[in-house]
C-alpha cells in the first residue's frame, strides 16, 4: 500500500455469460460497474457495448470501461478485481473461454508497472477494439506510457479502414 496516496486506473470489464441474479451480460456489467465503488471512487463509467467473441468463446460479449481512483496499489487492485470476478462466479480455467465477469487493469496514472502476474499497460489493449471503444468514451486523452499515443489515437489507428489486397 502507498498509504494515503491514491492512483487512478482505467479498468476494462467484459462478460458473456448470464448471472443467476444480474441476468444477461449487460446486466452483469451494470452490477460490476456499481461494485467497483467498493474499491475506490468511480470517476467515469462507459456505456456497455456488445462485441463479437474472441477465440473459442461462443457467446457475444458485453464490454465496458471505468476510471477508478483508489488507494490500492496495482497489485492490491488486481487482487480486489480478481476477488470481484470470483464473487460474480468467474472460474479461471481456460484462456479466452466464456466468463461471467472479466476485469483488467488497462492503464494507471503511475505509468508502467511490472509484477509477477500483472503488467500495466495491459499488453494486448492496443489491439482490442472491445477495450479501446469503451475507453474512448471516458478517457480519450489518456496516454499509453509505452507508445505515447492517446486512447483516441490508438482507437483511430486500430479502426481506420485498410486497403484490400488483391
Is residue 59 annotated as a catalytic residue, yes or no?
Answer: no
Location of C-alpha cell 472491445 = 130
First vs last C-alpha separation in the chain: 55
Active-site option among 59, 90, 98, 129: 90
Is residue 102 annotated as a catalytic residue, yes or no?
Answer: yes
Is residue 109 annotated as a catalytic residue, yes or no?
Answer: no
Which run of H or E residues covers position 166?
Answer: none
**CA distance to 105, 131, 133, per residue, from 126 (Å):** 13, 8, 11
Query: Omega into 121 within 30° of 0, i.e. cis?
Result: yes
SS3 134: helix
Active-site option among 102, 126, 128, 144: 102
Active-site option among 17, 45, 73, 104: 104
Active-site option among 99, 126, 128, 144: 99
Query: No. of H helices and E strands in the chain?
Result: 4, 7
Rounded CA separation 143/135 (Å)? 11
Is residue 73 annotated as a catalytic residue, yes or no?
Answer: no
Contacts of 137 (CB under 8 A, 6+ apart): 46, 47, 65
Which are the catalytic amino acids?
A: 90, 99, 102, 104
Amino acid at each position: 500500500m502507498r498509504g494515503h496516496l491514491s492512483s487512478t486506473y482505467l479498468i476494462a470489464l467484459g462478460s458473456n455469460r448470464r448471472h443467476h441474479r444480474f441476468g444477461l451480460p449487460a446486466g452483469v456489467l451494470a452490477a460490476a460497474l456499481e461494485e467497483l465503488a467498493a474499491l475506490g471512487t468511480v470517476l467515469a463509467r462507459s456505456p456497455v457495448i456488445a462485441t463479437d467473441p474472441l477465440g473459442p468463446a461462443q457467446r457475444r460479449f458485453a464490454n465496458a470501461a471505468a476510471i477508478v481512483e483508489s488507494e490500492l496499489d496495482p497489485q492490491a487492485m488486481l487482487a480486489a478485481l480478481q476477488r470481484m470476478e470470483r464473487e460474480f462466479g468467474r472460474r479461471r480455467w481456460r484462456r479466452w473461454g466464456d466468463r461471467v465477469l472479466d476485469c483488467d487493469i488497462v492503464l494507471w496514472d503511475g505509468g508502467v508497472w511490472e509484477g509477477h502476474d500483472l503488467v500495466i499497460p495491459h499488453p494486448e489493449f492496443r489491439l482490442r477494439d472491445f477495450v479501446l471503444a469503451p475507453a474512448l468514451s471516458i478517457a480519450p486523452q489518456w496516454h499509453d506510457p509505452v507508445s505515447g499515443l492517446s486512447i483516441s489515437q490508438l482507437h483511430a489507428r486500430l479502426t481506420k479502414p485498410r486497403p484490400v489486397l488483391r
